[in-house]
A = this chain, B = another copy of it.
């Protein structure tokens, strides 16, 4: 078994929810989802098998995006919606 590198296990990369732009906020949402997946399942081999599974399954791909949408709700509120 190979373990995800340490930087892949940081739950809030950058240590803050504040970003300069919505684009960076969205990228942070994706990174938070990815690293939480890593924290729950840190075995690279299992992650790669799961990746092959959900990236070609429309239902699971949509569920992955929903998770990003939830994080983005939090990040957008933190940034007063970059108004």
Contacts and interface: CB of A to CB of B under 8 A. Distances in A.
B55 A57 contact: no
A37 B15 contact: no
Query: How big is chain A's contact interface, by range?
Result: 35 or more
Given A57-B58, A69-B67, A22 B17 contact: yes
A62 to B, nearest CB: 5
Contact of A65 (B22, B40, B77): B40
A72 B66 CA distance: 12
A63 B63 contact: yes
Nearest to A30: B39
B36 A26 contact: yes
A65 to B, nearest CB: 5
